[in-house]
């Protein structure tokens, strides 16, 4: 398994090319379909893969959290991913994927790991409504393999949020309305339902109007329509769009590609772009800067996000309305 993730740092060169590598894994047989489904997680989020260590149970933990393990002197929570998703009740999950994102480290128990698949984000599709309904919105993207298998990307940010018991009221408590906020419109893109909810809550607390999208492609199409409408009316796009906030990992078009297209189009001149990601590595910050993002803010830090939004919105001409 160590060979599987060998030279993982070198994989950062894929970021910014609309490509990704995903680690494929299984959780067991899904009683609803009778199949052993294949799931995926971005390799950028994976620190290591190991045999299941001894887990120490802890009181008052969410149902899917098995307990804690000590990894290099740090206590790490362990989530039985099959139990969380609701599949493979009888599976022996003896493999642990150690993940690191949003500044947190956690272990995911899985039945087995398969291989690492390299592909283009354009090959990842928004999941069909039937699949979204069946798994309660846990799948953010899907793709097909050459052997016909369907790979489902799990919303690991949602897993972290729900198993960590974030206190939302506390996170948003000190965010104040921005003077003149109703003159601004923020467009944002994120494939995680949890992240979209937190972005909306932050902007609502600030009193800023907003338009959301589930991926970079959808956001670019909407921004292009706004730009065309502004051009037809002899207006600037900045009259309708104050700022763009984008995730990095998204199906069909990632945040790096979205930022590149915005910054390369003169119609969007002067409109700041914030990259809002759970990928906290310095290499991703540098790549964000290289494609022209104005700020890089980690997810699940609404206070920090509101501060950056306040500063950047104050630097732009207020939007006069859609």
Q: Are 294 and 272 in contact (CB under 8 A)?
A: yes
Q: Per-residue confidence at 173, pLDDT binned at 50, 70, 90?
A: confident
Residue that wins the pLDDT comparison between 320 and 239: 239
H helix or E strand, kind and range, residue 39: strand 35-42
User: CA 268, CA 228: separation in Å to the nearest integer?
Assistant: 11
Residue 2 pLDDT > 60: no
The stretch 94-121 carries a mean pLDDT of: 90
User: pLDDT tens digit string along 255-283?
Assistant: 989 999 999 999 999 999 999 887 655 55
Token pair listed for 2: 């160590």
317 pLDDT band, cuts 50/70/90, is very low
Return the closest-CA partner of residue 273 out of 263, 284, 286: 263
From the list 268, 102, 307, 265, the residue with the least C-alpha distance to 187 is 268
Average pLDDT of the residues of the chain: 85
Per the structure block, which two tokens stand in for 122? 């354009």
Share of the chain above pLDDT 90, in %: 46
Confidence of residue 7 (pLDDT cuts 50, 70, 90): very low
**pLDDT the model gives residue 321:** 52
Task: Tell me which residue has tokens 């907003």.
Answer: 210
The 10s digit of each residue's pLDDT in 114-139 is 889 888 888 888 888 776 666 667 88
Give the pLDDT confidence of 33-91 residue by residue, as tens digits. Answer: 788 889 999 888 898 999 999 999 888 888 889 999 999 888 999 999 999 988 877 77
CA distance 306 to 73: 34
Q: What is the mean pLDDT of residues 192-200?
A: 91
């Amino acid at each position: 398994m160590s060979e599987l993730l060998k030279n993982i740092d070198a994989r950062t060169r894929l970021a910014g090319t609309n490509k990704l590598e995903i680690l494929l894994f299984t959780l067991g047989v899904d009683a609803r379909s009778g199949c052993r489904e294949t799931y995926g997680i971005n390799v950028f989020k994976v620190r290591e893969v190991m045999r299941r260590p001894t887990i120490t149970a802890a009181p008052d933990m969410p149902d899917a959290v098995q307990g804690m393990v000590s990894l290099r002197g740090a206590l790490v929570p362990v989530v039985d991913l099959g139990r969380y998703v609701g599949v493979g009740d009888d599976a022996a999950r003896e493999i642990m994927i150690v993940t690191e994102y949003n500044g947190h480290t956690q272990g995911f128990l899985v039945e087995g790991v398969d291989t690492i698949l390299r592909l283009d984000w354009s090959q990842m599709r928004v999941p069909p409504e039937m699949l979204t309904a069946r798994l309660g919105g846990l799948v953010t993207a899907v793709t097909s393999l050459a052997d016909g298998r369907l790979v489902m990307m799990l919303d690991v940010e949602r897993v972290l949020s729900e198993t960590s018991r974030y206190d939302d009221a506390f996170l948003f408590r000190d965010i104040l309305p921005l003077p003149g906020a109703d003159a601004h419109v923020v467009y944002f893109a994120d494939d995680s339902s949890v992240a979209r909810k937190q972005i909306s809550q932050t902007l609502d607390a600030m009193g800023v109007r907003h338009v959301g999208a589930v991926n970079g492609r959808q956001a670019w199409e909407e921004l292009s329509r706004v730009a065309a409408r502004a051009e037809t009316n002899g207006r600037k796009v900045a009259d309708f769009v104050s700022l763009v906030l984008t995730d990095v990992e998204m199906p069909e078009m990632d945040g790096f590609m979205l930022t590149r297209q915005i910054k390369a189009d003169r119609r969007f001149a002067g409109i700041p772009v914030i990259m809002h990601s759970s990928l906290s590595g310095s290499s991703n910050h540098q790549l964000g800067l290289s494609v022209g993002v104005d700020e890089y803010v980690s997810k699940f830090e609404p206070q920090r996000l509101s501060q950056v939004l306040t500063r950047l919105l104050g630097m732009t001409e207020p939007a006069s309305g859609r």
